[in-house]
Structure 1
């Protein structure tokens, strides 16, 4: 995957994730929607940087066709990614929302459970759609004029 595609992947992932996370937090918490939106944009920015760095490292260790990754490897990928992100984001969330570390952890766990499921589905779909696009680009096109 090229650097440009990694950036596209991370941006697409985060735009969808942030939008859905903000909506969920607005529904399930009593925090101000503007503060939640700002918080999730900061968290998403951190997540994008982490996503880029983590996936670059992960791909160095786990090479090969991504669309052929096992379910076990995909679960390992998501769990390790999300644990690392939790360590980075809980203190930031606590600070911005002026809540305790425990409350931030609980809120971040809710978001993390959602994002973990979302990440699994998103990456599976992305990898398979990408494989189809690459396969189609490699098929020669013939033009017949009658």
Structure 2
């Protein structure tokens, strides 16, 4: 499988892997900007992506996750917690970062801002039904398992 990456700006950086076994590819900012305190800002990456040579009858999506260092040290994390890039999307990859602190945070072009993980997804056939199978848990919700 290949991740094809098209640069949309001169300041774009091709995603990289932090180590040989890293699950995610680091995404980089393609612009200088400030994320105001307790605010969200859409950060341009300057890239568009597509997958090539995926197994037949398989479907994939690209998921944008926080970089733990950025979230823990700087208080910047994806606003939607996990971003989803559909397999057929060809526009610019944008990362919406939320500043969880009381101070503005500066992002510079070339800064690592998130990580991109490719995952297999299923496309089930959706059907309406009158009944669902019973389980021991049943309809117990939040905290119902006692853990």
Shorter-chain TM-score range: under 0.3
The normalised TM-score by structure 1 is 0.27
Q: Which has the higher strand share?
A: 2
The normalised TM-score by structure 2 is 0.27
Q: Which has the higher helix share?
A: 1
